[in-house]
Structure 1
């Protein structure tokens, strides 16, 4: 029998599109075991392919959703694609406020602001930031010396690691204006864009 939490998630996944394949290709490529998902809302797809995931969101709907953690864990156990026991935790807070968790292999940033900047202390050296540039998070990561731009995930959910110099290039060879990105909280109009970007913490 489907739980209320399961119904809520499945309806949400139909609305935003199932991101499981996105998380799956990144997990397989980089052998991800532990992830942090700030601004997760109720997107629990990472737990289907990653054994240990901490979700973080201060949105009331997300807090209410994760109150049914037992039902969520049962759903993940029934649908997971790994043998290990799944471990799910939730922090009902703004990701820009202090938090204490063990270092993770992956930080997920999807339409939630400057996640890669605010939470990078939780990412281990060599760990991966998966982000889009909807709010400029990828642009800021590209400017950040703590990150190395190592690839993109294209619209077919394939990882590309070649010709990366073609990305983050503005018309007329303009340089990226960090203050403008921070002010507008929006990605810039580059000559070539990707759906998602991959950075390694150095």
Structure 2
């Protein structure tokens, strides 16, 4: 006997600039029961609420994740990467888009760069991965890029944009790039 098909849901949350942080601990529920396949968070000013939801839900059917923030600190970004990697979508998540304008937030010049790629290696079905962080640096080196391309056999787009304000901390050589591209479909 076949299991009944559960309805698939897409969810989009938009947070206006005047909205105060609104989630209390009692408001947070495990959203895994909803069989959500697409999550989109738009114009987010308070990333902590979204990170808390991600930490308390598993999303085993998630295929698409989009997060667009007005401002997210490097620490919040690290928490978001970690929470996303802990959800149960390792075999289903196909698309990740994370965009942070960092409006009004200045990252100190000596701060550590962001390293999202190791967090996302668990997503073996990944097709497009788009990461944009203004006023933050994203670290990527030859070994990390080669491991990513080996882990993501379906990847079609890898787009990484970071701030032009700071010296690039990525260490991808032309040779490393061509080696990784050789693994792409």
Specify if TM > 0.5.
no
TM-score of the two chains, using structure 2 as the length reference:
0.32
TM-score, normalised relative to structure 1: 0.30
> More relative contact order in 1 or in 2 (CA 8 Å, sep 6+)?
1
Task: Give the structure with the larger helix fraction.
Answer: 1
